[in-house]
């Protein structure tokens, strides 16, 4: 049978399987995978009782998942039980892996995550990408992808797909960067510039950061706002565990919400946008520092030492974030706001003014603001895990390609 490729789809938006016998089989394969991954190791009988299918039906599904390398048997369970000893099943540490990649303004990163959720290979390169054209940047990224894929293959894994996080607006085709102002990219289809063999999903880094928070964070609610920053400020709106994409896929541009309508002009064409007050470069400017590498490290270091100008700049950035978030919180009523990405490293100095501004301005009780434990790793992990989730959600489609 020929192998249908995954159609690109926005990350985290599992497609509904058809309501046919074939669709039912694929749904059941997914239920087995999720059950073993969340609760395993489990015997076939335990899987059957958890998902409410007969032992025979589960055995057929499990055999298929073992044959295609998605599940593995750990050996017989300890003796002494009544009946034929069952073998404990676990998600395979070989088999498909999700390849996540990140294009940052100052760095490129790639990682491979296996079905168990472990990072198995990783490569990072610090490089100034601002105003570099997409070809050389994605050429370097492709080198890193090949290196990570080779390392993963050395451990018995194979790449099931590639997801790329970018600091910009991505069209709903999940491959075209419409605008990435801090890279200087406009209307660029990334697919021809990346390894052709891998099914590709491109998404805004804030969206992948939010998905990482949902999948890997502790007690993350299903309705929350995830705010992250590098030089720009992005947000993802999570509604019932899904990223809100908006009409064109551009939802979440918190950085261009006006904080002060007559403020400084912004690259977007507006004035007084949040980014002009709380973006890394704006904060450095306000603190009288030169933008360079490791901007967050510089700001955090100075703030820790008690530098009054830096603390004042971060306090004001927190206030601006609070004002911009007030609109979002009043409009969307999220359960909480999560600060991720580079912002998480500056949280101790941003949070007091952010929280008080938000509390003062929101209707109803204040919306809690927390800090992501994933920090700057969020978008890269979210990208890789989105591929892994795709495998767990439809193991049959991926097994056919393995
Ligand atoms: Zn703007």
The token duo for 250 is: 């551009």
* Cβ contacts of 215 within 8 Å, gap of 6 or more: 382, 385, 389
3-state secondary structure of 8: coil
pLDDT above 80 for 339: yes
In this predicted structure, what is the pLDDT of residue 78? Answer: 57
Q: 165 C-alpha to center of ligand 1: Å? A: 21
Ligand 1 midpoint to CA 334 (Å) = 24
- Confidence tier at 18 by pLDDT (50, 70, 90): low
- What is the mean pLDDT of the segment spanning 180-198? 93
Higher pLDDT, 149 or 269: 149
Q: Is the torsion defined by CA of 47, 52, 55, 57 positive or negative?
A: negative
Centre of ligand 1 to C-alpha 66, Å, is 51
Residue 8 has a pLDDT of 38
The confidence score (pLDDT) of residue 207 equals 94
pLDDT number for residue 5: 36
- Whether the predicted pLDDT of 299 surpasses 80: yes
Please check the confidence at residue 1 and state whether its pLDDT lies above 80.
no
Q: Which residue has the higher pLDDT, 402 or 319?
A: 319
Q: How far is the CA of 275 from the centre of ligand 1 (A)?
A: 7
Confidence of residue 11 (pLDDT cuts 50, 70, 90): very low
Give distance in angstroms: CA of 230 to centre of ligand 1: 15
Least confidently predicted of 77-86, 89-98, 229-238? 77-86
- Residue 97 and residue 119: Cα distance in Å, rounded? 9
pLDDT tens track for 106-124: 899 999 999 999 999 999 9
Burial pattern 58-89, b for ≥16 Cβ within 10 A else e, equals beebbebbeebbbbbbeeeeeeeeeeeebbbb
Predicted local confidence at residue 399, as pLDDT:
63
Distance 284 CA to ligand 1 centre (A): 18
> Tokens 């192998």 map to which residue?
3
The answer on pLDDT for 230 being more than 60 is yes
387/402 Cα distance (integer angstroms): 14
Please report the pLDDT score of residue 397 as a whole number.
85
| pLDDT at residue 332, rounded to an integer | 93
Q: What is the distance of C-alpha 124 from the center of its chain?
A: 17
Distances (CA, A) of 151 to 113, 155, 363, 398: 12, 7, 52, 21
Is the pTM higher than 0.85? The answer reads: yes
Per-residue pLDDT at 15: 58
Taking residues 179-204, report their average pLDDT. 94
Distance 99 CA to ligand 1 centre (A): 32
pLDDT at position 56: 93
Place 198 in a pLDDT band, splitting at 50, 70 and 90.
Answer: very high
For the segment 44-81, what is each residue's pLDDT rounded down to a tens digit? Answer: 999 999 999 999 999 999 999 999 999 998 876 555 55
Averaged pLDDT for residues 150-174 = 95
Evaluate if residue 249 carries a pLDDT over 90. no
**Stretch among 79-83, 169-173, 218-222, 354-358 having the lowest mean pLDDT:** 79-83
Centroid of ligand 1 to alpha carbon of 341 (angstroms): 19
Q: How far, CA to CA in Å, does 158 sit from each of 63, 143, 273?
A: 20, 17, 44
And the tokens for 87?
């073998």
Domains of the chain: 21-94 (1.10.10.10), 95-209+379-390 (3.30.420.40), 218-373 (3.30.420.40)
Q: What is the per-residue pLDDT across 363-394, written as a single tens digit (0 to 9) for each? A: 888 899 999 989 889 999 999 999 999 999 99
**Residues 262-292: tens digit of each pLDDT:** 999 998 889 999 999 998 889 999 999 887 7
How far does the centroid of ligand 1 lie from the alpha carbon of residue 12, in Å? Answer: 28
Q: How far is the CA of 255 from the centre of ligand 1 (A)?
A: 6
Task: Report the pLDDT value the prediction gives residue 85, as an integer from 0 to 100.
Answer: 53
What does the pLDDT read at residue 16? Answer: 65
Angstrom distances, CA of residue 71 to CA of 5, 29, 153: 21, 11, 17
Percent above pLDDT 70 for the chain: 92
Of the listed ranges 156-160, 299-303, 343-347, the one predicted with least confidence: 343-347
Degrees to nearest 5, angle at CA 67 with 66 and 70: 45
Angle between helices 44-51 and 21-39 (to 10 degrees): 120
pLDDT of residue 51: 93
Average per-residue pLDDT for the chain: 89
Q: Which residues surround ligand 1, an ion (CB under 5 A)?
A: 256, 266, 268, 270, 273
Determine the pLDDT at residue 232. Answer: 81
The Å distance, Cα 144 to ligand 1 centre, comes to: 32
Centre of ligand 1 to C-alpha 258, Å, is 7
309-333: average pLDDT = 95
Distance from the CA of 339 to the center of ligand 1, in angstroms? 20
Q: Rounded to the nearest whole angstrom, what is the distance from the C-alpha of residue 8 to the centroid of ligand 1?
A: 29
Which pLDDT value is given to residue 260? Answer: 93
Q: How far is the CA of 9 from the centre of ligand 1 (A)?
A: 28
Whether 50 and 32 have beta carbons less than 8 Å apart is answered as no
């Amino acid at each position: 049978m020929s192998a249908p490729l995954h159609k690109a789809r926005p990350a985290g938006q599992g497609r509904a399987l058809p309501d046919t016998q074939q669709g039912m089989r694929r749904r059941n394969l997914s239920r087995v995978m999720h059950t073993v991954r969340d609760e395993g190791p489990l015997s076939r009988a335990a899987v059957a009782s958890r998902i409410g299918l007969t032992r025979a039906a589960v055995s057929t599904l499990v055999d298929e998942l073992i044959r295609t390398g998605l599940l593995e048997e750990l050996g017989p369970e300890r003796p002494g039980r009544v009946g034929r000893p069952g073998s404990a099943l676990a998600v395979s540490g070989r088999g498909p892996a999700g390849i996540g990649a990140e294009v940052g303004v100052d760095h490129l990163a790639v990682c491979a995550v296996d079905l168990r959720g472990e990072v198995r290979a990783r490569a990072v390169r610090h490089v100034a990408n601002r105003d570099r054209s997409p070809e050389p940047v994605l050429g370097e990224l492709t080198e890193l992808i090949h290196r990570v894929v080779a390392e993963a293959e050395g451990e018995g894994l194979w790449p099931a797909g590639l997801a790329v996080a970018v600091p910009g607006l991505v069209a709903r085709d999940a491959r075209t960067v419409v605008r990435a102002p801090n890279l200087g990219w406009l209307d660029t289809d990334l697919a021809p510039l990346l390894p052709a063999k891998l099914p590709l999903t491109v998404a805004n880094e804030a969206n992948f950061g939010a998905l990482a928070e949902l999948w890997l964070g502790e007690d993350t609610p299903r309705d929350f706002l995830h705010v992250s920053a590098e030089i720009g400020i992005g947000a993802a709106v999570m509604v019932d565990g899904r990223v809100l994409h908006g009409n064109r896929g551009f939802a979440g541009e918190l950085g261009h919400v006006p904080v002060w309508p007559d403020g400084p002009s912004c690259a977007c064409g507006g004035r007084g946008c949040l980014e002009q007050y709380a973006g890394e470069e704006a904060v450095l400017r306000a603190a009288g520092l030169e933008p360079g590498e490791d901007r967050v490290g510089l700001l955090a270091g100075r703030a820790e030492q008690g530098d009054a100008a830096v603390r004042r700049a971060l306090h004001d950035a927190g206030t601006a974030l609070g004002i911009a978030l007030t609109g979002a919180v009043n409009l969307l009523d999220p359960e909480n706001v999560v600060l991720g990405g580079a912002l998480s490293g500056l949280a101790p100095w941003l949070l007091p003014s952010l929280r008080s501004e938000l509390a003062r301005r929101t209707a109803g009780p204040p919306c809690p603001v927390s800090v992501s434990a994933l920090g700057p790793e969020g978008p890269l992990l979210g990208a890789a895990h989105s591929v892994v989730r795709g495998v767990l959600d439809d193991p049959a489609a991926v097994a056919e390609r393995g």
